[in-house]
Structure 1
Amino acid sequence: MQVAIFGIGGVTRTFRQWPERVLGERLVRLGHSVVAYGYHDPRSPHLKERSEEIGGIQVRRVSPRFWPARSLRKEMARNLMPDVAHLMHPRNVLAFPATRLLRQWHVPRVFTWLGPFHDPYLVDDRESPLEAPPHYDRPIFSLRKLLRQLWQGQGLRDNLRNFALHWPLAQADLFLACSEHEARELTRLGMPQERIRVVPLWIEAEEIRALPARPPEQLFSRPLILFIGQLTRRKGADVLLEAIPGVLRRYPAASFAIVSHNPTGWPEIEQRALALGVRGALHFLGQVSEEEKVALLRACDVYVLPSRYEGFGLPLLEAMACGAPIVASDVPVIHEILRDGENGLLVPRDDPQALAAALLRVLGDPVLRARLVEGGERALRERYDGERLIRQVVAAYEEAIAWVRKEGGSRDG
Structure 2
Amino acid sequence: MDAGGREKGGGKSIILKKYELCRLLGRGSFAKVYQGRRLEDNADVAVKVIDKSATVAAVEPYILREILAMRRLNHHPNIVKLHEVMATKTKIYLVMELATGGDFLAKLNGGEFLAKLNGGERPFDNATARRYFRQLIAAVSFCDQNGVAHRDIKLQNLLLDGDGNLKISDFGLSALSDHLKDVSLETMCGTPAYSAPEVISRKRYDGAKADAWSCGVILFEFLAGRRPFEGHNTSERFRAMIRHEIRFPSSVSKSARKIIHRLLDPNPLTRPTIGELMMKHPWFKKSSSPALEQSLSDHKESKTMNAFDIISMSSGLDLSGIFEEEMREKRMRFVSTIEVGEIEERVKKMGFGVERGKGGGIRLVKEGVVLMLEILRVSTEIWLGEIKVVNGGKEFEEITWEEFKVGLTDIVSWQSEQ
Which one has a larger percent strand, Structure 1 or Structure 2?
A: 2
Structure with greater helix share of residues: 1
Give the TM-score normalised by structure 1.
0.29
